[in-house]
Amino acid sequence: MTRVVFVLLPDVHLLDLAGPAQVFSTAAGLGQPYVLDYVAESPQVTSAQGLPLTARTDWPSLGPEDLVVVPGWRAPALRGGPEPGAAL
């Protein structure tokens, strides 16, 4: 099983989240071993479009086969941070 963890930042653009989430969700529905999780600093994050999103605040246990996705890297919460693609 591969866990795919989406990190939800304030002002995330819905399309930046929905596209990748749909890909992994569809693949899981077709029998691929993906489990999706959504994490954030607080239980509710508001998207750039004003839609409130619900997330876990605790990280699931991750292994080397798991993926972490940060949708909407242009979100204000990431400005001033490391360059895109830099090791976190």
Q: How far apart are CA 76 and CA 88, in angstroms?
A: 17
**Span 36-60, average pLDDT:** 96
Q: Residue 48: how many CA atoms within 13 Å on its side-chain side?
A: 15
Q: How far apart are CA 36 and CA 29, in angstroms?
A: 12
User: With a threshold of 0.95, does the pTM exceed it?
Assistant: no
**Span 39-48, average pLDDT:** 96
Q: How far apart are CA 72 and CA 60, in angstroms?
A: 21
Which residue segment(s) compose the domain that 62 sits in? 33-74
Instruction: Assess whether pLDDT exceeds 60 at residue 87.
Output: no
Report pLDDT for 72: 81
> Does any domain span residue 27?
no
Report pLDDT for 75: 52
> Does any domain span residue 42?
yes
Q: How many domains does the chain have?
A: 1
> Does any domain span residue 40?
yes
